[in-house]
Every structure is written in structure tokens, then in C-alpha cells.
A and B are shown apart, each in its own frame.
Chain A
Amino acid sequence: MALGDLSSSSTSELHVLAVDDSIVDRKVIERLLRISACKVTTVESGTRALQYLGLDGDKGSSGLKDLKVNLIVTDYSMPGLTGYELLKKIKESSAFREIPVVIMSSENIQPRIEQCMTEGAEDFLLKPVKLADVKRLKELIMRGGEAEQEKTSNLISSPKRILQNNIFFFFIIFFIITIIVIFIV
């Protein structure tokens, strides 16, 4: 999957920042993400999330994270900064607006969902979040990442890509020859 070093993060494992004020939900979402082969960092508030990303305006805190964040999953209803407000702050930042943000909520309120999607949320999950939701989400994000790489790699001719296509052809021909040989013998 790694078509050369076109992105600065590892393409095989997503690093997810999960934001939820409920300790029970943090434990569950962490497990769901770990099972889906993601690295996880959990924080208990929108404020802490901004601190982690280095977006809280405090010039000295930009070094808190050691891994690039590929996805942010946040609860909607939290004291202090709501998930929606966190989403807005992330989309307003030039450094982080490309990071997909997913909102989770226990309440199926259509205007709320629309508001989040309009603000740029990648998806809106209803709680309790299930493993199938996380797996689907991961696939979506990975495919999005691949699409990014596809886009840029189409502009740059990648020798690895040409080789991959050739290997594909070789396999087909080998397979056909094997079938023919079997018929002859």
C-alpha cells in the first residue's frame, strides 16, 4: 500500500485521537480502535484534545504529541467544549483541517447531524458505537488516504507502481501457461 514516501505518516496504522468525557465510553472506543489495528490516544475533553494537538494557543505545548494524528473521533455532548466546537476549531486550523473528524452521539438529532456534516465532519456515529462502525470508518479513512496517494502518484511516475503492474501481468501469463501445461499433460 505504501506507494513511496508520499505521506509523512505510516500508511499501515492509523493513529486515532478519541475524545469523550465518559470514562466508560473512552475504554470502549479505545478497545474498538485497538482491535481495528489503530494506535489510540484518549483524552477526556475538547480542551485536552486541543492541547494535545498544540492548538490551544499556548505556544509551549506544541510538542505533546509524538505521532501524527490521522483521525479524530469525538463525542458530541461534552462539558466545556462540545464535539461540534472542537470540530470547528480543528477545521479552522491550517495545520489540522485535513484530519478527518468523526462525531459520536447517543442522540439521533437530525439538525445536529446536519450541522456537524456541514461543518466538515467525516461521519456521524450513533452510540453505542459498534465494531462494524469502526471497521467501516477505518476503511473509509484508509481509502481516502490511498485516493490522496493515487492522486499525487498519478502525477509522478512511480517505478514501484510500474513494477506492480508488470508483476500482475506476469502472474496472469504464468497462470495461463500452467493451465495449458496441465491440459497437455
Chain B
Amino acid sequence: MQRQVALIKQSLFDQGYLDEQFVELEELQDDANPNFVEEVATLYFKDSARLISNIEQALERGSFDFNRLDNYMHQFKGSSTSIGASKVKTECTMFREYCRVGNAEGCLRTFKQLKKEHATLRKKLEQYFQLARQAGPKETARRPK
């Protein structure tokens, strides 16, 4: 089972869903705080759901307030960076670029992609954490090769 956990984690890195920052967070775990990364991830998904909803409302209004949108995306990018959510971070950067040049179409397209990446990451991490909890604490704290 632990091998399965390791494989899932490796694939998350190989496919670019997660980056080095995720490993940095895992290294902050110890016996007293064995679920630190899962706790951070939970906070992240709760917070980013709020941001997604705010952005959606802002986009639905039709009048593109690029400043406001960029503001939301700055927050989104920040927390995505902190957890190592690589693909999501990339979409955030692209969205901000479109905001900068005032390209509404680009923003909408990128936002759709961002939501997709976000949902995929959420599912994969939920699966990973569930398996990791079942497998026991040893595997989660190790660096992928």
C-alpha cells in the first residue's frame, strides 16, 4: 500500500501537478504534526473555492474590472505557490497577463482551464491523502526520487 502511495505522489510530480514546494511542506511534518500538509491543503481548497466564486461573480457581471480580477488572481496565485500547486499557478499567471492587457476573452478561457486544473488537483490530492492515511505515516514524509 505504501508503494501505491509513493507511485501516486511520484506521478503528481511527474505530470507537473505539484512542484518542489510540496516537498518543502512535507519536510515540515513530524510525529507531532503528521498531517500538516493535508491541513494546509484543506485550507487551500477552502480558500481557493471562495476566490473562484468571487471571480465567477465578477466575470458574470459582464463589466470586466481587470484590477479587481487581478487582485483576486494575485491571492490565488500566492496560495497556489505556497502549496506547490504548479499547474494552477501557471494558469493564474496567464490569467493575470490577460488582465494586464485587458483581454477579456483570454481571461474567460484561462479561468475555465484554471477551474479544471484546480478540480483535478483537488481530486488527486484527496485520493493521495486518503491513501497515505491508510498506509501509515512513513511514506508521506519521504522525498520522491
Contact = CB atoms under 8 A, between A and B. Distances in A.
B78 A131 contact: no
Nearest to A77: B74
A97 interface: no
A25 B82 contact: yes
B79 A24 contact: yes
Interface in A21-62: 21-25, 27-28, 31-32, 35
B139 interface: no
A130 B26 CA distance: 12
Given A32-B28, A35-B28, A22 B79 contact: yes
Contact of B47 (A24, A35, A128, A130): A24
B21 A31 contact: no
Interface residues of B, number: 20
B75 A22 contact: yes
Given A23-B47, A31-B36, A106 B77 contact: yes
B125 to A, nearest CB: 14
B25 interface: yes
Contact of A127 (B25, B43, B82): B82
Contacts of A24: 40, 43-44, 47, 78-79, 82-83
Interface residues of A, number: 16
A22 B50 CA distance: 12
Given A24-B47, A28-B25, A127 B81 contact: yes
Interface string A1-27: 000000000000000000001111101
The residue among B75, B77, B81, B82 with the most chain A CB atoms within 10 A of its own CB is B82
A106 B75 CA distance: 10
Contacts of B33: 31
Interface in B68-107: 74-75, 77-79, 81-83
B40 A131 contact: no
A22 to B, nearest CB: 5
Nearest to B47: A23
Contacts of A106: 77-78, 81
B74 A31 contact: no
B78 A22 contact: yes
A165 B47 CA distance: 55
Contacts of A23: 43, 47, 79
Interface in B20-58: 21, 24-25, 27-28, 33, 36, 39-40, 43-44, 47
Contacts of B81: 106, 127-128
CB-CB nearest 6 A-B residue pairs: A24-B79, A24-B44, A128-B82, A24-B82, A31-B28, A128-B21
Given A24-B40, A32-B28, 7 more contacts: A24-B79, A24-B82, A25-B78, A106-B81, A127-B82, A128-B82, A131-B28
Interface of B: 21, 24-25, 27-28, 33, 36, 39-40, 43-44, 47, 74-75, 77-79, 81-83
Interface of A: 21-25, 27-28, 31-32, 35, 77, 106, 127-128, 130-131
